[in-house]
Structure 1
């Protein structure tokens, strides 16, 4: 459970940074939220696949 939690928090940080980088001033925030959410999902999936392949999970 602790390994999943660390993957989750790592993915949240990556999603937040990606959303902040993709946001431009004077534009709506919605597309940046969606982009950050997509990056979060991809990062979490990638992290879980890598850990499963290494035999940690």
Structure 2
């Protein structure tokens, strides 16, 4: 696909927003009361990175980026 730079940036921003939502849900699920929040933040950060890499890899394989 021959997309303009603006459209590609918009797609990457959408991937980052979806990854942020996934990370927030993962952080909320992993956090249990009475434990430090640092573990949940690290878990959310890992899920953000994994989701963003997965999204970008799929888009690269589909030759969108």
Report the TM-score range of the alignment, normalised by the length of the smaller protein: over 0.9
- Long gaps (5+) in structure 2: 1-8
- The answer for the alignment partner of 1:2 in structure 2 is 10
Aligned residues: 57
- The answer for the alignment partner of 2:63 in structure 1 is 55
Q: How much does 1:22 deviate?
A: 0.1
- Name the SS of the counterpart of 1:17 in structure 2: helix
- Long gaps (5+) in structure 1: none
Query: Which of 47, 50, 65 is matched with 1:42 structurally?
Result: 50
Considering Cα pairs closer than 8 Å and 6+ residues apart, tell me whether 1 or 2 has the greater RCO: 2
Q: Structure 1 length as normaliser, TM-score? A: 0.98
> Separation in 2 of the partners of 1:35 and 1:5?
22
